[in-house]
Structure 1
Amino acid sequence: MKKFFEKKKLDFKFKKAGTGHSLSDESPSTSSQGVITSQPVAKQPPPPKSAGAMKAGEAALTRIDQKKQEPISASRKAIQAQVRREMEQEKAAAEAAAALSRQQSGPGETKLESAPLLSVEKVQFYCSLSPQRVPRSQIESHIKECLLLKLAEDPIQASCAMIHSLNKDREKMKVGIDTICKYLDNIISHPGEEKYTKIRIQNKAFQDKVACIEGSEEFLQSVGFTRQMMPHQDSEAEFFVLDQEYCSDTDRLRAVHESLVSTEPIRPILDRNTQIFEPCSGASQFHLPDEFYNLTAEEIKREQQLRTDMVERNAVLRTKAMREKEEQREIRKYNFTLIRVKFPNGIILQGIFRSREKVGALMEFVRQSLENDWMPFILSTSTGQKITNEDAFLVECQLFSVEILIFPRGI
């Protein structure tokens, strides 16, 4: 009975507390009698937006609308490649314009006393496909980029040049070219036979002789081969397949064959960095960068000691073969030679040459700088040695590292 009354008492207190409310209802309030009642809470108005915030919001909405309207037509990588290509073209055009301006106005004159610390700041190269000058360490990748860009214009010639220019192992390259020529000869001799129009890519002979040659895949694609999956020994394998339309055009295949065999490689061209100096007393001062030497900086510092040792060796009887071997070892130290030609009026013409270029290249360099290029001349060293054999190499005439040559008077 006692428990019954306690339960009644609890029910009475619960009902006296008023009607309940759910947690999702508006915030409750307490009446003056202490009873909780549900009353709506007045919402605070948002603070007024500033003019700058409104403009920023409008601009953001405009950008979102534009992005929705713009179609995604290219991948990020393709866009980056296109931008880089355009920038390179603009740079090459600017350099070409500068080079043309230099050719029209001639080499600039400067005084040796006011010249930079280095007689040559750096050695640069370019190729026949682009006037852009790049350092020696970048010329190979530069040539490859130029050839890849040329693929779109002339795929046959560009791919042939890739094979001849980008492969350093000449023997391996020759084997690859011979193998590709056999493929073409078989197609020309048997235009109707399907087996000669297919090359299984995973074939060991193809992998060892052709696939390892840089530019071979680009060449096959330029001929008309396409990659296709075809049945092979109860499974499928990937083949290079030549379309029947290209197989029947034997004249084109012969021309392609000839191009592959006869194409000359794209070789780096040394920038002469032609300079003309006014007469001064600093003509015998040379300051060259490390690129001129195969030696390290420490080995160059020991040059004096090596010369001392050479004098001691000369005192010992040696055979002619021994002397020639030591001379060749000395010559191989130098990659380039800086030559200055001093004219009778004191003007000095300076240019950079490979140490293994022929004397004829030096003569042509001087001849192009003369007002009358038909005039005969003979250069001589400061010791009186005449430079006459144009077929001789510069190193054979002891013209390596740096040298001053005298232009004869009366010419």
Structure 2
Amino acid sequence: MSKIKRFFSKKKEEAAFKLKLGGSSMGAGHKLNAPKPEAAPSGSRHKHEAYVPPKRNELSNEARAAANAALNRIEKKDSRDFNTSLAAIKAQAKRELEAERRQKEDLANASSGSISATSTSSGGDNRNLACQGVFFRCPLIGEEVLEKKLWKVRIKEFLYQQLEADRGLTACLIIHNCNVKEKAEDCVATLIRYFENLIKNPEEEKFCKIRMSNKIFSDKVRYVEGALDVLQAAGFREVQIDEEPFLLWDKENLEEGLDLPTLVDALKNSELIHLELDRNIKVLLPSQARRVVLPDDFYRISPEEIKKEQQLRAEAIESAQILKTKAMREREEQRNLRMYRYSLVRVKFPNGLYIQGTFNVYEKISDIFEFVQSCLADETLEFNLIATSEGKFSDEDMEKTLYDCKLIPNILLLFNVPGMPTPAAADLNFLKEDLLMLVQSM
């Protein structure tokens, strides 16, 4: 079965499952991958399935050679060797923690855990970025990790490559993925009307032909990517009638293995091809977890709008020194939160190391716990995450989103093991050893 057919088969199964749940007295539904409910002791955190990092493809010989050459150049440029052994990393982290305690400014940065959300649109130094952008994976296509704008190009290329094998189903996806939302929705509604008329009245001549100069067809179908391919798969062919172009339907021209009801279902069930947010995991030493700026990808608005927003805010502070009511402060806070699509989450371990991941603002607190759990050498370890301003998360907090908890655009959480003394925890490494290879030299 092709990837396109598997996509629609999965959608059909999901729709049937939802219908079954909705039409029966089975009670409240639950996620298939959710753990079975157990009677948890009071105050304990629910267990969650660990976030599974994506599998990385093995490096080719050419890529290994290029990497080795790059490392050689770096070594020539900077003769200081960076030892990635566990002992060396622990020693480096301890030295930097001591330096933090001696320096008041570093201590203030560590205790607040804040990261500057200033946009880089004004030409900031990219070396200070907390991460180089927001990255995604697309399970339907492959294991690559790319920015969203690059995935749009790859998805379009992929769909057009599938046209010859599954023209009708693929073209339905092209309509949704290669056009703006409004054009896609108008086109789909018009095509469904054409096909449903034919299903009900297959012998009626007026439904078997479409004048290509017709205003509705020209405005809503003709110039939408994928639309003419859907019509071709449905059995329409371009002909000349009285020297005017028409699309004429013939049942014999239907794509093999396809019928009009199936095409109508495909149009109704088509959607944007799903991208999965990549956590873009980083492991940082204390000195690397300093104040940095977030890339523009974290914002809902454009760099120009960010700059304008900052100017307006500065002007408002200067010109309006008035006392604000609680409602005014809350409205301003909500407006600020809505500026962001993503949040940068850092978790600090007792030995001074940090892990960093990217989250959608509408992901849940439980997703952060799953992410941290997947990074632990012992994934069965019971642990708490403590927000420096809010304290520990409760079981009720697990279903709240980062937006609900105002953990935007960034947050520092402290890793804590119940019952373990701080000195003992500071001497332990909790992370998987392969993650330590992500520690970068300064």
1:157 corresponds to: 169
Q: Which of 259, 264, 267 is the matching residue for 2:266? A: 259
Deviation by residue 1:341-368 (Cα, 9 ceiling, x = unmatched): 2234444221112334443443332333
| Deviation for aligned residue 1:263 | 2.2
Separation in structure 2 between the aligned mates of residue 340 and residue 139 of structure 1, nearest angstrom = 26
| Deviation for aligned residue 1:208 | 2.4
| Deviation for aligned residue 1:120 | 1.0
| Deviation for aligned residue 1:160 | 1.6
| Deviation for aligned residue 1:186 | 2.1
Structure 2 unpaired stretches of 5+: 1-54, 61-84, 97-126, 421-442
Secondary structure at 1:405 match in 2: strand
Separation in structure 2 between the aligned mates of residue 250 and residue 281 of structure 1, nearest angstrom = 62
TM-score after normalising by structure 2: 0.56
Q: Aligned ranges for residues 253-332 of structure 1 at < 5 Å? A: 253-277=260-284, 280-293=286-299, 294=301, 305=314, 312-313=321-322, 316-318=323-325, 320=327, 322-332=328-338
Q: Aligned ranges for residues 10-409 of structure 1 at < 5 Å? A: 96-97=57-58, 117-128=128-139, 129-170=141-182, 172-229=183-240, 231=241, 235-246=242-253, 252-277=259-284, 280-293=286-299, 294=301, 305=314, 312-313=321-322, 316-318=323-325, 320=327, 322-371=328-377, 373=379, 377-388=383-394, 389-409=397-417
Q: Which amino acid aligns with 1:266?
A: I
Deviation by residue 1:357-393 (Cα, 9 ceiling, x = unmatched): 4434433323333455566655321224344534433
**Cα distance 1:136–1:250, how it changes in 2: closer, same or farther (>3 A)?**
closer
Structure 1 unpaired stretches of 5+: 1-93, 100-107
Contact 2:384 2:417 in 1 (8 A): no
| Deviation for aligned residue 1:305 | 5.0
**Cα distance 1:152–1:341, how it changes in 2: closer, same or farther (>3 A)?**
farther
Contact 2:156 2:178 in 1 (8 A): yes
Q: Which amino acid aligns with 2:335?
A: R
| Deviation for aligned residue 1:143 | 2.5
Q: Which amino acid aligns with 2:231?
A: L
Aligned residue pairs total: 301
1:34 corresponds to: none
Separation in structure 2 between the aligned mates of residue 282 and residue 380 of structure 1, nearest angstrom = 21
Secondary structure at 1:407 match in 2: strand
Separation in structure 1 between the aligned mates of residue 342 and residue 171 of structure 2, nearest angstrom = 31
Contact 2:385 2:416 in 1 (8 A): yes
Contact 2:337 2:409 in 1 (8 A): no
| Segment drifting more, 393-402 vs 375-384 | 375-384
In angstroms, what is the RMSD of aligned CA positions?
Answer: 4.1
Q: Which amino acid aligns with 1:291?
A: D
| Deviation for aligned residue 1:339 | 0.9
Separation in structure 2 between the aligned mates of residue 310 and residue 382 of structure 1, nearest angstrom = 33
Secondary structure at 1:182 match in 2: helix
| Segment drifting more, 151-160 vs 292-301 | 292-301
Deviation by residue 1:115-172 (Cα, 9 ceiling, x = unmatched): x6533123333433243343344443332222222323332332222222233334x5
Separation in structure 1 between the aligned mates of residue 384 and residue 346 of structure 2, nearest angstrom = 14
Q: Which amino acid aligns with 1:237?
A: E
Identity rate of aligned residues, in percent?
A: 31
**Cα distance 1:195–1:96, how it changes in 2: closer, same or farther (>3 A)?**
farther
| Deviation for aligned residue 1:326 | 0.9
Contact 1:341 1:407 in 2 (8 A): yes
**Cα distance 1:208–1:345, how it changes in 2: closer, same or farther (>3 A)?**
same
Ranked by relative contact order (alpha carbons within 8 Å, sequence separation 6 or more), the top structure is: 2
Contact 2:235 2:252 in 1 (8 A): no
**Cα distance 1:392–1:215, how it changes in 2: closer, same or farther (>3 A)?**
farther
Secondary structure at 2:411 match in 1: strand
Separation in structure 1 between the aligned mates of residue 319 and residue 342 of structure 2, nearest angstrom = 23
Secondary structure at 1:227 match in 2: strand
Mark the structure with the bigger radius of gyration.
1
Separation in structure 2 between the aligned mates of residue 237 and residue 98 of structure 1, nearest angstrom = 57
| Segment drifting more, 351-360 vs 198-207 | 351-360
Secondary structure at 1:339 match in 2: strand
Q: Return structure 1 stretches of 4+ with deviation > 4 angstroms.
A: 108-113, 246-251, 293-313, 371-378
| Deviation for aligned residue 1:312 | 4.8
Separation in structure 2 between the aligned mates of residue 135 and residue 272 of structure 1, nearest angstrom = 12
Separation in structure 2 between the aligned mates of residue 329 and residue 310 of structure 1, nearest angstrom = 20
